[in-house]
């Protein structure tokens, strides 16, 4: 029934209008569909508090400081920023998201939590505006993926491409100080396929998809599907 309705003229506009009126995550997702900003990876803003306790624990153990400067790339509506604050009290935290609705929601959440002094949020689709070697911890969690690939087509061309992933990851890792930690989860590409991975050692890698219902498929440098067992998601430390 829903599939038939989707083919009706005007259905897309109606569903977008409904999402815009609903607000919250549906509005955020609709704005991503309407704006389609350059370098957009995962358009959906799904998030929650404390989604990655194991990864953040491993990052904390690998860091030389208890108060790392943190960059959260693809912070969505801000729950990740407050989670990071709980894991790393005393840290300075910067959140980036490409979606203006997400940025507004994150700023509101941070303000309501009285954390404006420690946490800043900006709209950006890459780390180009961040100074080199200025962070100890960079996280990119459930950003370098796309829900349209969940059915694991043989190629990801037309949805995501490795070149954009590598360029963006290279920019993010350039923001890390020597000895800094990069955490990447639920990506459709492998960090170790990027040339810059040679500057890193694994701390906790090869983590499985945490959602047993959605196994994130993997694609290689040529955008071809590869075995999900070769997943290298996890925690990496930059050589000192």
Ligand X SMILES: C[S@@+](CC[C@H](N)C(=O)[O-])C[C@H]1O[C@@H](n2cnc3c(N)ncnc32)[C@H](O)[C@@H]1O
| 40 is a site residue for ligand X (CB under 6 A) | yes
**Helix 24-35 and helix 11-22: axis angle, to 10°?**
130
Q: Which is nearer to ligand X, 40 or 152 (CB)?
A: 40
* Residue choice 142, 169, 175, 181 for contact with ligand X (CB under 6 A): 142
Q: Minimal distance in Å, beta carbon 73 to ligand X?
A: 6
| 99 is a site residue for ligand X (CB under 6 A) | yes
| 55 is a site residue for ligand X (CB under 6 A) | no
User: Rounded to the nearest 5°, which phi and psi values hold at 237?
Assistant: -110, 135
How many positions of this chain bind ligand X (CB under 6 A)?
A: 24
DSSP count for the chain of H helices, then E strands: 7, 9
CA dihedral 129, 168, 232, 48 (to 10 degrees): 60
| 182 is a site residue for ligand X (CB under 6 A) | no
- CB-nearest residue to ligand X: 74
201: β partners: 237
* Residue choice 39, 67, 148, 211 for contact with ligand X (CB under 6 A): 39
* Residue choice 102, 105, 175, 197 for contact with ligand X (CB under 6 A): 102
* Residue choice 68, 74, 217, 234 for contact with ligand X (CB under 6 A): 74
What gap in Å lies between CA 57 and CA 139, rounded to an integer?
13
Q: Which stretch binds ligand X (CB under 6 A): 62-70, 73-81, 197-205, 219-227?
A: 73-81
Report in angstroms the alpha-carbon separations of 86 from 67, 90, 117, 167, 207. 11, 9, 15, 31, 23
* Residue choice 15, 44, 120, 170 for contact with ligand X (CB under 6 A): 44
**Cβ-contact 138, 207 below 8 angstroms:** no
DSSP 8-state secondary structure symbol assigned to residue 68: -
* Residue choice 19, 25, 42, 84 for contact with ligand X (CB under 6 A): 42
User: Rounded to the nearest 5°, which phi and psi values hold at 120?
Assistant: -120, 150
Q: Minimal distance in Å, beta carbon 80 to ligand X?
A: 5
* Residue choice 98, 175, 197, 205 for contact with ligand X (CB under 6 A): 98
At 209, is the secondary structure helix, strand, or coil? coil
**Cβ-contact 237, 169 below 8 angstroms:** no
Q: Which is nearer to ligand X, 33 or 179 (CB)?
A: 33
Binding site for ligand X (CB under 6 A): 32, 39-42, 44-47, 51, 73-76, 80, 96-99, 102, 125, 141-143
């Amino acid at each position: 029934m829903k599939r038939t309705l989707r083919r009706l003229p005007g259905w897309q506009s109606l569903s977008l209008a409904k999402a815009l009126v609903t607000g919250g995550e549906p509005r955020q997702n609709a704005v991503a569909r309407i704006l389609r900003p350059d370098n957009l990876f995962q358009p959906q803003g799904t998030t929650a508090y404390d989604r990655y306790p194991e990864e953040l624990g491993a990052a904390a153990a690998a860091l030389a400081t208890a108060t790392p400067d943190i960059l959260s790339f693809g912070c969505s509506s801000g729950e990740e920023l407050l989670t990071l604050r709980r894991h790393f009290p005393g840290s300075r935290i910067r959140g980036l998201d490409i979606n203006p609705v997400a940025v507004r929601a994150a700023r509101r959440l941070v303000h309501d939590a009285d954390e404006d002094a420690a946490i800043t949020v900006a709209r950006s689709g890459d780390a180009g505006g961040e100074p080199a070697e200025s962070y100890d911890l960079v996280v990119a969690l459930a950003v370098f993926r796309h829900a349209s690939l969940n059915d694991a087509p043989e190629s990801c061309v037309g949805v995501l491409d490795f070149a954009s992933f590598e360029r963006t990851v290279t920019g993010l890792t350039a923001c890390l100080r020597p000895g800094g930690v990069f955490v990447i989860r639920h990506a459709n590409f492998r960090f170790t396929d990027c040339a810059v991975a040679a500057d890193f050692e694994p701390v906790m890698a090869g983590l499985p998809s945490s959602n047993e219902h959605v196994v994130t498929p993997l694609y290689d440098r040529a955008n071809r599907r590869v075995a999900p067992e070769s997943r290298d998601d996890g925690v990496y430390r930059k050589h000192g």
